[in-house]
Amino acid sequence: CLYLSDYHFEYTECDALGSRWRVAVPNKADICTGLPDPVKGTQCTFSCSEGEYLNMQSQQCQKCAAGTYSLGTGVAFDEWDSLPSGFHIRLLLLLLESICTSTSVKTGDYIASNTDECTATLSYAVSLKKPGTVSFDYFYPDNSIYFEFFVQNDQCQSTDSQSRWIKISESSWSKHRVELNSGNNVLYWRATTYTLLGSAVKPVMLRNIAISGVAYTSECFHCKPGTHSAKQGSARCAPCPADTFSNKGATVCHQCDRDKYAEAGSASCKPRPACTNSDFFYTHTPCDSEGKTQLMYKWIEPKICSETVKGAVKLPASGDKQTCPPCNPGFFVTNSSTCEPCDKGFYSNGTACSECPVGSEPVVGFEYKWWNTMPKNMRSAVFRREFTWEVAGEYVYTTPGDQDTDYLMLTLNVPGYRLPQSMTTDSERSELSRITFVFETVCSADCKFFFLAGYNQWNNDVVEQWRGTSRKQSYSYLIQSNSTTSFTWTFQRTEEFNMRKYSADVAKIYSIHITNVLGGVASQCRHCALSSTKAGSACVPCPPGHYMVNGTGVCKSCPPNTFVRADQPVGEAACVQCGPNTETNKAHTACLSDCALDVETAGGAPLHYDFSPLANVSGFHSSPRFTNKGLRYFHSFNLGLCGKEGRVLATCVDNVTESGREVRGYICQSTVVPSDIRSQSVVSSQPFLIGLTRVVQTTCGLTHILYNNSTNMSHTELCESKDKWTPLRSLLSRNGCKHLSYLVFLLSNCSEGTCDGCTFHFLWESQHACPLCTKNHYREIVSACIQGIQRTTYVWQQPLQCYGGESLPAQKVSACVTLDFWLKFGVSTGTVAAVLLVTISCYFWKKTRKLQYKYSKLMMNSRGKECELPTADSCAIMEGEDAEDDIMYLSKRSVFSKIRSYSRERSSDGFDSVPLKSSSSRHTEDMLNFRCLV
């Protein structure tokens, strides 16, 4: 081989020491011999810088020539007419290996994902000799698609799940950059659509993929048409400005002829078309000191039409003065004829501000119906220019765009919402806020008009969309969460790639009205709230639990166990009685349940319930459902009973995107798709609240729990009555309450939990729905007295119809006595009583004898005077007389004789015989001769 064109150089594989050899390889086999001998090559870690390439002949780095570029140790992919070598696309249905008919869209500048339920994965494998990076531009406008980027290394380990998230593109192309480790790396871009309602979504688009850290590059790449590099050592090529063009490998861009034009980055020039009415737009200048505004006409930039071509339209003259439109409600006209918002506590109809009267409060919000200037909290944007919506006095409209595929966006930002204290109607009662706008679209192609609600700068949900021409109409949307911070109106003329073919298609918004906005302005005032006003309110405050008497400023206390509702008529009617088994909260604004319940029973003791174990949030799924593509999904419900202050509410989340939007309430629902992506078992989306719960009545075996109907946007119109309550039932086993499971499932045959979108039925099986156990639920069993011990045992009544509450008392042991003991005790007691009776009888008998003796002695001392007692020597028997008188000189007799003598003591003539002393005969004689002296 004599010529360098006959062969080229390559490096061998690196050995264990990191060395390699440079060898010559013929361009065609068997055409020449005598190739240069192999020589030692550069180290495997050797690389060139950006803008350089490795000259294999000299094995030295050299700068790229003008018109070419090099990433040094990298590769770039910026042309997508066909899929570049090394890239692979895989399409499958999530969790089901299925044939997908959708394909990725490839154009000259970018590659786009599919928009159906097939998961599209774009992969590229690269081996890096040293740590490098991968960067790419992406456009990700729709959060109905989950878009992630991750890298797998040699061990098939993926990047951290948190770093896989790709942020939503707010208005233009975004750049993403990730560090790569040396070795083998497989790059994955994956897009999965989670739209279940068949609505259209916008695809994810990729372009300008660049990877650095590869082994080396032995050549420089020519700049593609429409770009150029003017100097040596360029790392990339710069796009040509507008109205210029370039060919492949250009060093400069060439100016187009005057009758031709070119967009930025064009490879050729196009003839300028004749100017039409679609090539310019009109706007208004701010009002001057005279209250006048000027009508201004402007060409769409960049201007591509020609005014000199036959039939071309000239730009209308600008500067015509017109009277400024009035200020919007809540604003007033300053001396400089500009519109400024009224101060807090004031209202206006657009001319002058007036202070709200005493006992009233301003109803704040934003109402835009005159469009002289764009409001400060609104902005318009498109990918390549700033202003796409322009004011036109009575409306704001979309100006003709550079490309018909552009999304022309108008965004309204709000700081938050607060309910006024003076709401009076049922519709106001259920609304945190409402946005209403009047719009119109005029289209000759398949235009689309979107209305989106945003929860942060990265998340916008499509609320409603219209296709084609739409007559002038009004649309309202209820805001139910303070997390909604922005609203966006987007207009796209067509999805076909055209340039100003349908520029005349237009969308107009005539008015926008949003209520209850923090920091808003007021167009009217209402009577003060009936309850205590919040901080910052202009109303006369009332203490908690008080109401205002006919707006006079006099506050009176509500009856016990009532709460104050501002949506009730003025007066005592504002105090609403709490329902059964509920109590008012500290602020007297609602009635809450403490999960305790007492139920009176017919002819029995009351039943006590404690549902506090059921107060924790419980979740369950519906039966599986499938989309037309076979994607399996569930409806997930989270329930939290009771309304104790400070309790944790049920939460449903949206984890499809970075926003992580949450809704909190007593019952909420979300759509769940089982998934293995992002290291999560399920993907949850579309969360919304269903309603509130209240415990009202129960019996053993069946507990009725009522919840209020949903005020969610999608269900409001289906539920005719806001005060309708639906039972949520908890059914118990007939075998008792001891061994029941803890389970919640859908009772209705409808897999979504509801058949009409308003009424939901669930079945909750739990032992905690039984009444609390009391002493009436158990009985006692008393054993016989055995060896002085008696045992009392307590057992439950069967079947057991209670749970928790009082526990079963422990067995009692007490001392006792037998029947033999009481028999012995009775005999002994009777014997003692008999002896005591005999002793007492003897005692009183002896006392009686002494009295008889003394009486006889008195009679003997009467000295014979009949019927006259003797004069007593003294008033009483002197002390010591008994001792003498007791001495009787009687002969000793037997016991039998004594008894006979006692029975004969009384003589036959009726006188008692009294024994006398035998030693005194004189006394004896006197006794015998005693007579009664008359």
DSSP assignments along 114-168, one per residue: --SSEEEEEEEEEEESS-EEEEEEEE---TTEEEEEEEE-TT-PBPPGGGGB-PP
Q: Domain residues for 148? A: 73-196+204-215
Q: Where are the beta strands (DSSP E) in 516-606?
A: 521-527, 546-548, 555-557, 562-564, 575-577, 583-584, 591-592, 596-599
Same domain, 506 and 399: yes
177 inside domain: yes
d(CA 468, CA 450): 12
**DSSP conformation class of 748:** S
905 inside domain: no
Model pLDDT, residue 161: 57
Out of 592, 618, 650, pick the residue that ends a domain.
Answer: 592
The residue whose two tokens read 């205002």 is 548
848 inside domain: no
Same domain, 389 and 476: yes
Neighbours of 646 (CB within 10 A): 4
Which amino acid belongs to residue 801?
Q
pLDDT in tens, 162-181: 567 788 776 678 888 888 88
Which is it for strands 331-333 and 339-341: parallel, antiparallel or unpaired? antiparallel
Cα separation of the two ends of the chain? 198
702 inside domain: no
Q: Where are the beta strands (DSSP E) in 325-377?
A: 331-333, 339-341, 346-348, 353-355, 360-368
Model pLDDT, residue 441: 94
Model pLDDT, residue 719: 44
Contacts of 846 (CB under 8 A, 6+ apart): none
Out of 592, 617, 632, pick the residue that ends a domain.
Answer: 592
Q: Give me the torsion for CA of 745, 749, 750, 756, rounded to 10°.
A: -110
Model pLDDT, residue 721: 36
d(CA 771, CA 769): 7
Question: Which residues on neighbouring strands pair with residue 323, listed in sequence order?
Answer: 292
Q: Output the CA–CA distances (angstroms, integers) from residue 663 to 66, 460, 478, 646, 683, in the order listed.
A: 58, 16, 15, 17, 16
Same domain, 477 and 572: no
Same domain, 173 and 91: yes
CATH number, domain at 477? 2.60.120.200
164: left (phi > 0), else alpha (psi -120 to 50), else beta? alpha
463 inside domain: yes
Same domain, 408 and 552: no
Model pLDDT, residue 887: 42
256 inside domain: no
CA 444-449-451 angle, 5° bins: 170
Model pLDDT, residue 713: 32
Model pLDDT, residue 358: 64
929 inside domain: no
Which is it for strands 221-222 and 205-212: parallel, antiparallel or unpaired? unpaired
Model pLDDT, residue 561: 80
Q: Output the CA–CA distances (angstroms, integers) from residue 296 to 69, 290, 506, 931, in the order listed.
A: 46, 18, 19, 169
Out of 524, 559, 584, pick the residue that ends a domain.
Answer: 524
Model pLDDT, residue 589: 67
Same domain, 416 and 510: yes
CATH number, domain at 184? 2.60.120.260
Same domain, 50 and 185: no
Same domain, 505 and 552: no
Model pLDDT, residue 366: 92
Structural domains of the chain, count: 4
Same domain, 93 and 53: no
Model pLDDT, residue 658: 59
d(CA 144, CA 657): 9
Residue 684: phi and psi, rounded to 5, are: -110, 140
pLDDT under 50 in the chain at which residues? Answer: 95-98, 197, 386, 424-427, 457, 530-536, 540, 567, 692-735, 739, 873-892, 895, 902-903, 905-914, 916-934
Model pLDDT, residue 927: 41
781 inside domain: no
Same domain, 515 and 439: yes
Same domain, 31 and 136: no
Q: Output the CA–CA distances (angstroms, integers) from residue 96 to 103, 629, 655, 683, in the order listed.
A: 17, 10, 22, 16
Same domain, 94 and 52: no
